[in-house]
């Protein structure tokens, strides 16, 4: 096993805690969970509602993936965390699914949680394989 490479991606939202955007080991890309924040993390600027937040999370994840030369087509697994599970699950699923072609969707876990950073309603992390 090679030594891990710790990536901080220019143009991706600033971390809200001590972590790297992506840790790469032997071609595997472990992508830190993203919330719907802008470049300079400010909870007051997160869009309202699960629809807008899910789109923003996916845009942030796309930026991070592109920063290491990958895309959604390279994602093999995802974890989704929702603070309003019952009310947001169907809407989040519809939006999430639109980012992956049918028949090529990653394995996934979706978990209801009590809180996320900055009052976010959704956070998604990924595992991808370098192309």
**By the 8 A CB rule, do 82 and 120 touch?**
no
pTM of the model: 0.94
Range of the domain at 47: 5-129
More confident residue, 107 or 39: 107
- How many independent structural domains does the chain possess? 1
More confident residue, 2 or 24: 24
User: Is the pLDDT at 88 greater than 70, yes or no?
Assistant: yes
Are β-strands 122-129 and 75-82 bridged in parallel, bridged antiparallel, or unpaired?
antiparallel
Please tell me the predicted confidence (pLDDT) of residue 89: 98
- Residue among 77, 70, 66, 126 at smallest CA distance from 105: 77
Q: Please tell me the distance from the alpha carbon of residue 82 to that of residue 114, in angstroms, as a whole number.
A: 8
Q: Please tell me the distance from the alpha carbon of residue 50 to that of residue 107, in angstroms, as a whole number.
A: 21
Domain CATH code at residue 68: 3.30.1330.40
User: With bands split at pLDDT 50, 70 and 90, how would you rate the model's confidence at 15?
Assistant: confident
User: Mean pLDDT over all residues of the chain?
Assistant: 94
Q: What share of the chain is helix, strand, coil (3-state, %, to 5)?
A: 30, 25, 40
Q: Give the contacts of 55 (CB within 8 A, at least 6 positions apart).
A: 47, 95
User: With bands split at pLDDT 50, 70 and 90, how would you rate the model's confidence at 86?
Assistant: very high
- Residue among 60, 7, 52, 62 at smallest CA distance from 34: 60
Please tell me the predicted confidence (pLDDT) of residue 83: 98
């Amino acid at each position: 096993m090679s030594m891990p490479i710790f990536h901080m991606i220019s143009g991706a939202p600033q971390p809200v805690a001590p972590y790297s955007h992506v840790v790469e080991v032997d071609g595997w890309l472990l992508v830190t969970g993203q919330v719907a924040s802008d470049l300079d993390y400010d909870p007051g600027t997160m869009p309202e509602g699960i629809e807008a937040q899910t789109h923003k999370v996916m845009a942030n994840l796309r930026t991070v993936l592109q920063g290491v030369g990958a895309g959604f087509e390279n994602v093999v697994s995802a974890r989704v965390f929702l603070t309003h599970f019952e009310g947001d699950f169907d809407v989040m699923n519809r939006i999430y699914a639109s980012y992956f072609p049918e028949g090529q969707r990653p394995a996934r876990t979706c978990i209801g949680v009590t809180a996320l950073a900055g009052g976010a309603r959704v956070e998604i992390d990924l595992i991808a394989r370098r192309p």
